[in-house]
Amino acid sequence: MRKWALLLLWSVLASPASAATDTILVGNFFFSPAIDTIERGDTVVWMFSGSSHTTSHNVAVQDRIWDSGNIGNGGSFSFVFDTIGTFPYRCDVHPVTMLATLVVLEAGTTNFSHAVEVGSFFFDPDSLRIAQGDTVVWTINDPVMPHTATHDVPAPLRLFDSGLLTDGQSFSYVFDTSGIFPVFCTVHPLQMSQTVFVTGGPSCADADSDGVCDPDDNCVNDFNNRQENEDGDEFGDVCDPCLGDPTNTCQACTPGDVEESGSITSADIIYMVNHIFKGGPQPLPIPEAGDVNCSGTLTSADIIYLVNHVFKGGPVPCASC
């Protein structure tokens, strides 16, 4: 009995960690996420909606390792990735508009993958900050011209050179050395450049895969690789709740609570009467708080709406702000 118990314990300890299952949504003209990182042994499940699509390895047909064939709304397709590498894929029904990439890392890795779009005379982002051991994936999005992602140093010293890549193709490189790495396109050396900053130590989390580590990202969950911040506050433009207002005082109001007491009462009705008929102060925190019927203007109809709500249990003010 003891012998069998020891053998069972050994089999448990020696067995590899359980593989994960990753889901990718396929809809009309999109894969979501378009660039995904998994580990060797993981299963990817593509869930289909909308019209008919495929998930097909974007290489010559005879070299493909997977091809779902046409799948319609509500269908799914799965594949187990047991080889590390970068795998571009597409929808064969929409080969120009539906492109995506899977990066398969060795199981147990703690590093991350960062996506770069390469288009007509640009790298996006044109500056990346990553950790040592992270992977950068360059994907071409240009149906007209080929491009490269090439280490911008004299040829004998180059660490990486993608060679010519055409629309939909990808190239990846693992940066296992810290430092500053200039990148350029050999086809357009004067117009296309990028810089990859690699820091030592463990990799950083990058929830939105925009190449900016979460602690430094001004929009952690929204792709904002250029970190645009028009008003200079703590929020990037794509997630700023008060774009253009560095004080961020444009909080959403509660329709009908025009004096900001925390509830809608007869005092709000009096406040609205004073504003509309006597030129009193505007509703707080913004005028739209008084547009309780969502007509677009403040009129006596809003007062009647509030009276009906407060004294007769009528409908709640609409969400006009």
CATH of domain 16-109: 2.60.40.420
Burial class (CB in 10 A: 0-12, 13-18, 19+), 258: buried
Which one-letter amino acid corresponds to residue 285? P
What dotted CATH number matches 110-217?
2.60.40.420
Q: What is the rounded average pLDDT of the residues 42-63? A: 91
**Which pLDDT score is estimated for 241?**
73
Phi, psi of 307, rounded to the nearest 5 degrees: -60, -45
The per-residue pLDDT for 209 is 65
Pairing of strands 127-131, 193-199: parallel
Q: Where are the beta strands (DSSP E) in the chain?
A: 21-27, 30-32, 35-39, 43-48, 56-57, 76-80, 85-90, 99-105, 113-119, 122-124, 127-131, 135-140, 150-151, 170-174, 179-184, 193-199
> Residue 278 and residue 273: Cα distance in Å, rounded?
7
pLDDT reported for residue 251:
59
Q: What is the mean pLDDT of residues 149-168?
A: 92
Interatomic CA distance for residues 230 and 227, integer angstroms: 10
For the chain, where do the domains classified as CATH 2.60.40.420 start and end? Answer: 16-109, 110-217
pLDDT exceeds cutoff 50 at 91:
yes
The pLDDT assigned to 10 comes to 37
Give 228-274 as a 3 state SS string. Answer: CCCCCCCCCHHHCCCCCCCCCCCCCCCCCCCCCCCCCCHHHHHHHHH
Span 226-243, mean pLDDT? 81
State the span(s) of the chain assigned CATH 1.10.1330.10.
Answer: 251-321
pLDDT digits (tens, 9 = 90+) for 274-320: 999 888 888 887 788 899 988 888 999 999 999 999 998 888 888 65
Locus of tokens 């190449």: 211
Assigned fold of 251-321: Type 1 dockerin domain (1.10.1330)
Beta-strand ranges (E) seen in 58-121 are 76-80, 85-90, 99-105, 113-119
At 185 the pLDDT is 97
Q: Is the pLDDT of residue 9 over 50?
A: no
Inter-residue contact 19 to 104 (CB < 8 Å):
no
Cα distances (Å, whole numbers) of residue 288 to 14, 255, 258, 266, 268: 64, 8, 9, 19, 14
| Distance of alpha carbon 71 from alpha carbon 52, whole angstroms | 5
pLDDT value of residue 201: 61
Sheet strands side by side (includes 35-39): 35-39, 99-105, 85-90, 56-57
pLDDT in tens, 160-182: 999 999 988 889 999 988 888 99
* Residue 80 confidence (pLDDT) above 50: yes
